[in-house]
Amino acid sequence: MQLTQHTDFGLRLLLVLARADGASISLPRFAAEQGLSYNHVAKVAQALVHEGFVASQRGRGGGVSLARPAAAITVGEVVRALERGMKLADCARCALRDNCGLSGVLAEALEAFLAVLDRHTLADVSAEGVPAFLPWTVIPAPAGGTCATPGD
């Protein structure tokens, strides 16, 4: 599963804001430091303001800052807000949709994914000195699988 670029940029901005300790951040400066398109960052910031995660100040010395404490914002909350209509597959257009157990498994997997994100706040993930988990790889399933076949 991969989050959209919109959500990626939103999470980056929120991490930087959480580390700013209440100070405002200039969007052009943030975009330049991250090597991102200012226009895209501005759209992401607008969505974060709309969702109540970020406050915006106009004018000289303006910018954006967290609207709530970083410890009061979960990563899951942010992902749900920015990934509207999040799903792992498009079952609505599938010819198998009326006779398929996969949609339930995928819904369960998405629920588990979001449950993990709900356990972590912006304060947790923005703490200085927390090592990054690299490389980003998925551990392969054990040989032979764990899924029973009908009739077993």
Q: Is 141 a member of any domain?
A: no
> Residue 90 carries which side chain, given as an amino acid letter?
D
pLDDT by residue (tens digit) across 53-63? 999 988 777 79
pLDDT surpassing 90 at residue 133: no
Residue in this structure with the two tokens 């951040």, named with its chain if needed: 25
pLDDT surpassing 80 at residue 149: no
> Residue 97: which pLDDT band, with cuts at 50, 70 and 90?
confident
pLDDT by residue (tens digit) across 15-28? 999 999 889 999 99
Q: Is 46 a member of any domain?
A: yes
Q: How confident is the model at residue 46, as a pLDDT?
A: 96
Least confident stretch, 13-17, 84-88, 119-123: 84-88
The domain spanning residue 73 has which CATH number? 1.10.10.10
> Residue 93: which pLDDT band, with cuts at 50, 70 and 90?
confident
Instruction: Say how many residues make up the chain.
Output: 152
Least confident stretch, 45-59, 66-80, 96-110, 135-149: 135-149
Task: Tell me what the mean pLDDT of segment 38-48 comes to.
Answer: 96
pLDDT surpassing 50 at residue 151: no
Q: Is 140 a member of any domain?
A: no
Q: How confident is the model at residue 91, as a pLDDT?
A: 79
Q: Is 38 a member of any domain?
A: yes
Q: Is 102 a member of any domain?
A: no
Tokens of 85: 């209509």
Instruction: Give the residue numbers spanning the domain of 59.
Output: 5-86+120-126
Q: How many domains does the chain have?
A: 1
Average pLDDT along the chain:
86
Q: Is 91 a member of any domain?
A: no
